[in-house]
Amino acid sequence: MTAANRWIRVAVAMTVLALGLAPAAFADDDFDFADGLQIGEPYASPALKAFTIEADEGLTKNNTVVCRQGGADRRSLYTDWTTVRGNGRDLTATVTAAWDSSIGVFPTTIAAPTRCNTQVKNTANAVGWTSAAGQDYGLQVGACVIYPNGLQNTPQWCATAPDTPDGFPSDYSLVVTSAPPSNDLRANALPYGPANGQNRFDNHGSTVDGEGTPSCTLPTGQVSRYRSTVWFKYTPDKFGTATFTATPVLSDRTDTVLAAYKGTGTAQLGCDDNPADINGDAQVSVAVEKGQTYFVQVGSYYDPAFSSAVPPYHQGVFTYRVVFSTDNNDGDPEKNATDCAPDDPGRYHGNPDVFNDGIDQDCDGKDDHDGDNDGYDYDGGDCNDGDASISPKANEIAGNKIDENCDGQRPAAELAPKPGIQLYSAFVKGRGRIFGDTRISPVGPGFRIQFKCTGRGCGAKRKKTIVVGSQKSVRTHWTNRRILKAGAAFEISVWQPNANRIGVYQRSSVAKGNRAKTRTCDLQPTSPDGVAFTRTRCGKR
């Protein structure tokens, strides 16, 4: 009921009394029609003399239940009823009146109060009790009287008997306050969960624990201040986005403001007031990390410019919830859709695999095995996992028939020693060119030297092979005194079989006009066994 409606009722009651008529009872004169009272908001009653007492109403002469204080049975006269809903915490109802007052707290019926108290005039009359969440309690306020000469005789004020109540008791004020919730302090924050669920909370009695007047700066630049803060905490078990929401329960008129913090930090990750709708959601979305605790502060909008006749901020009931979403549970570089282990940040494609640990860190379907501890396995390019000297990082040794760096090649080495070939010729007029001895030096054991003659002037002896023994050089007369015609040539090849060595080739020919022509090449093995060769790096002179 609004304050304006209550003043209309007072005016009606006083008009009736001025006309000498019997006072008519108001609706909340009866327990069953009591006004609902919000915790923390003051209640102003009309003149109490306009109220009567019901049959079997506790604390009145119609009932044996009394408020026993100071050795006297104290009762209530001209009773007014309101109700308040419990929030699970200690509540205190306080009456202030210009006459001796009585107040009783009734949980279910008008017959027996849970608590009661009386007080002399102009003194706050308070009664406290532990409420049950969601339980409605009837509050009975009346003039405190005693009946020293029997219930059928004239009552006296409780304070200074045998004074008799005179005049009609005026209106009174009543307010119900709440003990602060357990999470009034950040250190006592309650879990915000469950994730994707919704909870109901009452922040009546909450304070600001040394926070001053917190504020929220909105994207528009508007600054919203708030008070009556309570704290929640949330620790996700995955990486993702958490959306925190606080929504007022419309009947309580709580304008919620919400702010989120990371760990013990004081910087807001985000805040919201929803200034366009005082009954709308206050909502903040935050990117959250697995295992990190986040604190959520929910308060009530505060504006000191409000009229003093209206509470400067509202405490009340709100619902709160968190909605968690993610496409990357573990926060590694790969999203859930392709990650072989969405909840393990140490496993994703491209992550180096730890050898021999039984875990597939790189998501290739198996644990990499490094049998020789050279830092590579077969899939990583190691072509011999049993030899630590062979891996993609090894230096290639030419000529040893081994692919040390696993590039698929076994390069040949130069012959050692590398021989030179000397074969001289002279011009013979009208006949061609005459050749002398061939000298090859230096040579090594097992070298093969092949001579081949092609073209006119070669005669019957066209091919010869020499196997080198222990000598350091070879000199042969096989080419000596042979006269070759234009187009004919001696071909000399030197190689080392089964050694993967680069041999030497020289072609000494007779060109047009009987000119001498020499061509040299490398003999590159086509396989490491050194039995077949191809000529490379050929040059002329």
Q: Is residue 304 part of a domain?
A: yes
137 and 246 both lie in a single domain: no
* Confidence band of 455 (pLDDT split at 50, 70, 90): very high
Judged against a pLDDT cut of 50, whether residue 5 lies above it is answered with: no
Distance between CA 195 and CA 193 in Å, rounded?
5
pLDDT at 487: 94
121 and 209 both lie in a single domain: no
160 and 246 both lie in a single domain: no
Q: Is residue 532 part of a domain?
A: yes
- Which CATH number goes with the domain that contains 62? 2.60.120.380
Q: Which of 285, 309, 325 is a domain's end point? A: 325
pLDDT at 202: 85
- Residue 64 CB contacts under 8 Å (≥ 6 apart), including other chains: none
157 compared with 511, residue with greater pLDDT: 511
234 and 101 both lie in a single domain: no
Judged against a pLDDT cut of 60, whether residue 11 lies above it is answered with: no
Q: Which of 325, 345, 368 is a domain's end point? A: 325
CA-closest candidate to residue 437, choices 473, 488, 487, 471: 473
Q: Which of 236-250, 458-472, 519-533 has the highest mean pLDDT?
A: 458-472
Neighbours of 45 (CB within 10 A): 24
CA-closest candidate to residue 154, choices 71, 61, 79, 64: 61
Kindly report, residue by residue over 169-202, the tens digit of the pLDDT: 677 888 998 999 999 999 999 988 655 556 888 8
Check if the beta carbon of residue 228 is closer than 8 Å to that of residue 207. Answer: yes
pLDDT at 51: 63
146 and 54 both lie in a single domain: yes
pLDDT at 456: 94
Give the chain's mean pLDDT: 81
151 and 8 both lie in a single domain: yes
Judged against a pLDDT cut of 70, whether residue 132 lies above it is answered with: yes
227 and 311 both lie in a single domain: yes
Number of compact structural domains in the chain: 3
Q: For the residues 134-163, what does the mean pLDDT come to?
A: 77
Judged against a pLDDT cut of 50, whether residue 344 lies above it is answered with: yes
- Which CATH number goes with the domain that contains 466? 2.60.40
pLDDT at 16: 32
Ramachandran region of residue 291, left (φ > 0), alpha (ψ -120 to 50) or beta?
Answer: left
333 compared with 283, residue with greater pLDDT: 283
76 and 194 both lie in a single domain: no
Q: Which of 54-58, 167-171, 287-291, 529-533 has the highest mean pLDDT?
A: 287-291
Q: Is residue 381 part of a domain?
A: no
40 and 159 both lie in a single domain: yes
* Identity of the amino acid at 467: V
268 and 152 both lie in a single domain: no
Distance between CA 449 and CA 493 in Å, rounded?
6
Judged against a pLDDT cut of 70, whether residue 32 lies above it is answered with: no
Neighbours of 285 (CB within 10 A): 16
Alpha-helix residue ranges (DSSP H) falling in 149-216: none
123 and 226 both lie in a single domain: no
Judged against a pLDDT cut of 50, whether residue 236 lies above it is answered with: yes
pLDDT at 488: 95
CA-closest candidate to residue 485, choices 525, 422, 434, 534: 434
Kindly report, residue by residue over 401-418, the tens digit of the pLDDT: 899 999 888 899 999 999
Check if the beta carbon of residue 40 is closer than 8 Å to that of residue 315. Answer: yes
Judged against a pLDDT cut of 70, whether residue 538 lies above it is answered with: yes
Supply the range of the domain harboring residue 506.
420-540
Judged against a pLDDT cut of 70, whether residue 24 lies above it is answered with: no
- Both tokens of 117, joined, read 């108290």
Judged against a pLDDT cut of 90, whether residue 356 lies above it is answered with: no
- Among 13-17, 191-195, 342-346, 356-360, name the one with the lowest average pLDDT: 13-17
